[in-house]
Amino acid sequence: MTTEIETTARDIVPPGEGEERHVEWEGEQHVYEPHRVGIPPLGPYVRELWRRREFAFELSRTTLRAQHFETAFGQLWLVLNPLLLAFVYFLLVDILRHGHRPHGFFAHLVGGIFVYYFFSGAVRESVKSVTGGGRLVLNTAFPRILLPLSTVITAFKRFVPTFFIYIPIHLISGLPVTLADLWVIPIVLTIAMTAAGVSMFVAALQVYFRDVKSFLPYVLRIWMYASPILYYANEIPNHWNWLLKANPIGSPLAAWSEVLQKGHAPPPVDMLVGLAWGAGLLVTGALFFMSRERDFAVRL
């Protein structure tokens, strides 16, 4: 990618001449050199990323506009899908539980599905983000990582209205409303980090294996069943407990339910495990993506 060195002409010409050339070159200089171990210099990369952040937001806005997100019915449509899914699962789980459902179970289920939908939506959309970027990737030098990041922004914007649907369900279920509910913000943030990491990983992988897109729905479905959404985290049998920790979004989802159901702060261990997964996946996903990025222009 762009190895852009932020410098004024002053740095590259002898002093005295600087003033004149500064205007001439408009202070912009790019140096492109081979990437060490495939990873472009991180400092300039991140600066470029930040400078072009508007692109990710605009791309997200454009995507949503194409889905009529700005109209009331468009939003309703987006909420309808996870909501219907929640009804289906509620029916299924209630039968399996012989009708013995704990207090507030429906709220747990709906809340879990909504937040999982944020995660899976980001990953599902991002898989096509680079391969679908076609000509832009071929013709323009920009940090390609903006493409999967934009889908995370899109997924988040679609998550926000579902949260407002959750609120009345929460209240009708008679669940507590406390200050501790604010914990949902860092929880959603850790899930967003994980989503971004996984998104970048699958977006890059899709360039090499175009059938990743076809496998992904199965992976995401199994991932959902392995997460404490259709059940409570404390119902997991002891010998399956490792699964909760091994699942990057397992602990945050457990914490999510704990906060909303009981109205108190989540166990620190859940938050820490979730944060470790989120940060770890974000960094490895980004590094993997960046190390493959040079290839994209010749592989598409």
Cβ closest to another protein, residue 43 vs residue 102: 43
Q: How far is the CB of 197 from another protein (least distance, A)?
A: 20
Instruction: Write out the binding residues for another protein, residues 194-233 only, by CB under 8 A.
Output: 208-212, 215
Q: Which stretch binds another protein (CB under 8 A): 163-171, 225-233, 273-281, 289-297?
A: 289-297
Beta bridge partners, 5, equal 29
Q: Who contacts 290 (Cβ-Cβ below 8 Å, separation ≥6)?
A: 1, 38, 39, 40, 45, 145
Tokens of 32: 């492109």
**Is 26 a residue that touches another protein (CB under 8 A)?**
yes
Decide: residue 265, CB within 10 A, 0-12 exposed, 13-18 middle, 19+ buried.
middle
Q: Which stretch binds another protein (CB under 8 A): 131-139, 168-176, 247-255, 282-290?
A: 131-139
Q: How far is the CB of 200 from another protein (least distance, A)?
A: 17
Cβ closest to another protein, residue 127 vs residue 255: 127
**Residue type, position 141, single letter:** A
**Alpha-carbon gap, residue 190 to 156, rounded angstroms:** 13
The answer to whether 107 and 170 have CB atoms below 8 angstroms apart is: yes
Q: How far is the CB of 283 from another protein (least distance, A)?
A: 22
DSSP string, 197-266: HHHHHHHHHHHH-TTHHHHHHHHHHHHHHTSTTSS-GGGS-GGGHHHHHHSTTHHHHHHHHHHHHH-SPP
The count of residues in the chain is: 300
**Is 134 a residue that touches another protein (CB under 8 A)?**
yes
Q: How far is the CB of 157 from another protein (least distance, A)?
A: 17
**Is 40 a residue that touches another protein (CB under 8 A)?**
yes
Alpha carbon 252 to its chain's center: 14
Instruction: Write out the binding residues for another protein, residues 61-100 only, by CB under 8 A.
Output: 62, 66
27: left (phi over 0), alpha (psi -120 to 50) or beta: left
The answer to whether 118 and 90 have CB atoms below 8 angstroms apart is: no
Q: How far is the CB of 94 from another protein (least distance, A)?
A: 38
C-alpha neighbours within 13 Å on the C-beta side of residue 95 = 5
Among 10, 18, 21, 156, binds another protein (CB under 8 A): 21
Count other Cβ atoms within 10 Å, centred on residue 101. Answer: 14
Q: Which stretch binds another protein (CB under 8 A): 73-81, 134-142, 243-251, 284-292?
A: 134-142
**Is 138 a residue that touches another protein (CB under 8 A)?**
yes
Q: How far is the CB of 270 from another protein (least distance, A)?
A: 34
Among 14, 15, 16, 33, binds another protein (CB under 8 A): 33
**Is 32 a residue that touches another protein (CB under 8 A)?**
yes
Contact residues for another protein, defined by CB under 8 A? 1-4, 6, 8, 21, 23-35, 40, 47-48, 51-52, 54-55, 58-59, 62, 66, 132-142, 146, 208-212, 215, 294-295, 297-299
